[in-house]
Every structure is written in structure tokens, then in C-alpha cells.
Chain A
Amino acid sequence: DVKVTQSSRYLVKRTGEKVFLECVQDMDHENMFWYRQDPGLGLRLIYFSYDVKMKEKGDIPEGYSVSREKKERFSLILESASTNQTSMYLCASEPQNSPLHFGNGTRLTVT
């Protein structure tokens, strides 16, 4: 069974802090994604990666960056956290052209 693991379930950070959200998958999937989920807005794509060191912006990349140095790990970075980045962050992975497998999410609160 595919396992997508997000390192933190809950995270509380202060405004201006640099925040790292980590995601690891154990199935050698090529594609990995970061979404944020907000009530009434559904899931919105922040960034995705289709290979090591390859990345593309999603619909809402502003204020975020990503890193994929190894195939199994995809990190989301908030360079300077702001209160409007308080949200649920979901990581997902997939082999090419197959449905996504999601982690359980990281609920980030920025105070």
C-alpha cells in the first residue's frame, strides 16, 4: 500500500518565520504535489514536481517555494510565514497518469 507521510500533523509558527513542510513517499512515484485546503475553497495547487529538481508553479505559488532533491521527498517552504498562510496543507504523489495518493495533511497555524 502506498504511503505518503507528512512529517507534522499540527504546526504553530510565528509571523515572519521560515517554515518547512516535509513530505515523503515510499513508492518511487515520479510526480508529487502540494495543495492547500481552505473551507469553501476546496483544494488549490501550490506547486508540483514531475521529477527530481523539476518543479512547476500551480495556481497559488506566491509566498511559497519547493525543493525536490531526492525522488521520495518533496518539501514546501514558506520563506516568511504570514497569517493568511494558516491552512491545511496536503501533499500527494502519483506514478505517471494515475490517481493521486494523499498524506493526512499538516494543519499550519501562523500567529
Chain B
Amino acid sequence: AQSVTQLDSQVPVFEEAPVELRCNYSSSVSVYLFWYVQYPNQGLQLLLKYLSGSTLVKGINGFEAEFNKSQTSFHLRKPSVHISDTAEYFCAVRKGSGGSNYKLTFGKGTLLTVNP
């Protein structure tokens, strides 16, 4: 079975500081990896995804993530955060396609709080 661990439940940072939100996964097969963001009182929206190819993936709002197969990690980074980046961030993993492989498994989330 696949699983996702987000190592930090809360990350407070100051505006314009860099940030890294950590995500590790476990799976015995190749996976697809995703980061979603949830702003207050909203549903989730996709930040970025890794399906194959380049291990450095760029997403919306200046975020990027690096897939590291040997460390089974997919950490999310941003070089300079804004107040508006305050939100909860979810890492998710899925195996291939077909049948139960449609299932997307989410981590427990990391609350990023950007302070002025």
C-alpha cells in the first residue's frame, strides 16, 4: 500500500523568506506525485505534479518541487513567500492507472503561515 508522510504539521515563516515543505512517500512501484493547496474556506487546487521526466517540477505561484527517487521524497519549495501563500498544503501520491490505481493518497497536510 502507498502512504504519504508530511513531516511538519505547521511551518511559520516571515514574508520574503524561503520555505521548504517536506513530503516523503512509500510505494513499491512507480508513482505519480502531486502538491495541492487549500486556502481558507475553499476546496483544494493543484499546485504542481510529477508524472515522469525532469525531476524538478515548476508549479503555479512560484512554487517548485523536486522528485528524489532514492530518498522517496517530493519536497515543495519557494524562494520568497508572500502573505497570500498562507494556506494548507497537501502532498499526494498515486500509482499508475486502472482500477484501484485511481486512488490518490494524501498526506495529513502542512499549514504554512506567513507572517509580516
Residues of A within 8 A of B (CB): 4, 31, 33, 35, 40-45, 48, 50, 56, 58, 90, 92, 96-97, 99-100, 102-105
Contact = CB atoms under 8 A, between A and B. Distances in A.
Interface of B: 6, 9, 34, 36, 41-46, 49, 90, 97, 99-100, 102-109
Contacts, number: 50
B100 A102 contact: no
Contacts of A58: 103
Nearest to B51: A97
Contacts of B107: 42
Contacts of A102: 36, 43-45
A99 B43 contact: no
Contacts of B36: 100, 102
A31 B102 contact: yes
Contacts of A100: 36, 44, 46, 104
Given A43-B90, A92-B44, 15 more contacts: A4-B43, A31-B102, A40-B9, A43-B106, A45-B104, A45-B105, A48-B102, A50-B99, A90-B44, A97-B97, A99-B46, A100-B44, A100-B46, A100-B104, A103-B43
A42 B89 CA distance: 10
Contacts of A50: 99, 102
A104 B44 CA distance: 8
6 contacts: A43-B106, A48-B103, A96-B97, A102-B36, A102-B43, A102-B44
